């Protein structure tokens, strides 16, 4: 969820300033062009997140290790370089 906008993640998606034609973060210079990726798990109740940024990504207040997959579950908080915070929700 970005602001009040919900983003459906039903396949592997890359998020960032220029990722996959999305413009959600275009005005945030401290967010990388490809900041992180999310891949849904087959169970449908979780996903994997990978930090791909030049800066940093935090998951639930903990800095992620670059290029190492972490599990996302409902309610997870994703912070991008300290300037944008997202919430991972499952509906």
Digit-coded pLDDT (tens) for 56-90 = 999 999 999 999 999 998 889 999 999 888 888 87
pLDDT tens readout for residues 11-25:
898 888 875 656 678
Q: Where residue 1 falls among pLDDT bands split at 50, 70, 90?
A: very low
Predicted TM-score (pTM) of this structure = 0.84
Four-point Cα dihedral 79, 34, 37, 68, nearest 10: -80
The predicted pLDDT at position 83 comes to 86
Instruction: Give the three-class secondary structure for 19.
Output: helix
Judge contact between 52 and 67, C-beta under 8 A.
yes
């Amino acid at each position: 969820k970005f602001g009040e906008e919900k983003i459906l993640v039903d396949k592997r998606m890359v998020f960032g300033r220029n990722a996959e034609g999305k413009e959600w973060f275009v005005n945030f210079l401290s967010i990388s062009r490809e900041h992180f990726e999310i891949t849904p798990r087959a169970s449908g109740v979780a996903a994997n997140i990978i930090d791909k940024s030049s800066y940093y990504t935090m998951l639930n207040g903990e800095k992620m290790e670059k290029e190492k997959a972490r599990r996302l579950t409902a309610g997870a908080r994703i912070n991008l370089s300290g300037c944008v915070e997202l919430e991972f929700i499952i509906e």
